[in-house]
Amino acid sequence: PPGKKVLIVYAHQEPKSFNGSLKRVAVEELSKQGCSVTVSDLYAMQFEPRATRNDECSLLPTGCLHSSEEFKYHVETWKAYKRGDLSKDVIEEQKKVQEADLLIFQFPLYWFSMPAIMKGWMDRVLVQGFAYDFPDCYDSGLLKNKLALFSFTTGGNEEKFTKESISGDIRYILWPMQHGIMHFCGVKVLAPHICFAPEFVSEEKRKEMVTAWAQRLNTLWKEEPINCSPEWYFK
């Protein structure tokens, strides 16, 4: 609906890819609804995925303020966040997250997970004090009142991702991403959108999958979040 803000965090190297098409139709469809859509195209941005000492102290020419001899990334970035002293690229992503009502993560499945560049976005952007705190995590996480949706593609076909088959239920893969990251930060999770094996189906089937995604987005704002608890994943 008009006024809703969506951030699409997108990880594919090739604009002509199937993921590229899914991203493109999402921008089109959501814009048509009157949403304002922002895309973080991580490879195009050459997003830095590594959590290093460089993530703090941009204001200090002489180096880090960190208190002990032993560098602790989560503690230092938490303090840097409070001082407004995280690196610029991280601050920019945090602003986009802060403004968004809905976060869509669009990516190809890499080793049962997200590509490293997207994992690095999670590692660096979702800093303590910004995304969560103690005890402000899970249902009281600092990003509550936002929604997230994991939209991804696989190499394997759907039959490989059932409880009884070799790869196990696809929901096992979603546990770290949906529950461990998003729910931990207070974000409510919409059902994932999975396009199985786009490389190995017919052109016609691929077109159907792209259309199905656009259609889902059409009624997305009426959806209820999943019940993101261990039972949803491992029942």
What phi-psi label fits residue 134: left (phi over 0), alpha (psi between -120 and 50 degrees) or beta? Answer: beta
Closest contact distance (angstroms) between CB of 221 and Zn ion is 21
Residues 6+ away with beta carbon under 8 Å from 150: 105, 174, 177, 178, 189, 192, 193
Neighbours of 35 (CB within 10 A): 21
Closest contact distance (angstroms) between CB of 180 and Zn ion is 8
Residues 6+ away with beta carbon under 8 Å from 207: none
Binding to ligand FAD by CB under 6 A, coded x per residue (else -) over 166-205, reads --------------------------------xx---x--
Which partner in Zn ion, ligand FAD, none is near 179 (CB below 5 to 8 A by kind)? Zn ion
The Cα–Cα gap between 159 and 143 comes to 35
Site for ligand FAD in 14-73 (CB under 6 A): 16-19, 21
Binding to Zn ion by CB under 5 A, coded x per residue (else -) over 139-178, reads ----------------------------------------
Please give the backbone phi and psi of residue 144, each rounded to the nearest 5 degrees, phi first: -65, 160
Residue 111 or residue 134: which is nearer to ligand FAD going by CB? 111
Task: Examine residue 228 and tell whether it contacts Zn ion (CB under 5 A).
Answer: yes
The burial class, CB within 10 Å (0-12 / 13-18 / 19+), for 189 is buried
Task: Examine residue 74 and tell whether it contacts ligand FAD (CB under 6 A).
Answer: no
Stretch that binds Zn ion, among 72-80, 98-106, 112-120, 220-228 (CB under 5 A): 220-228
Residue 110 or residue 232: which is nearer to ligand FAD going by CB? 110
Binding-site ranges for ligand FAD (CB under 6 A) = 12, 16-19, 21, 108-112, 153-156, 198-199, 203, 206-207, 210
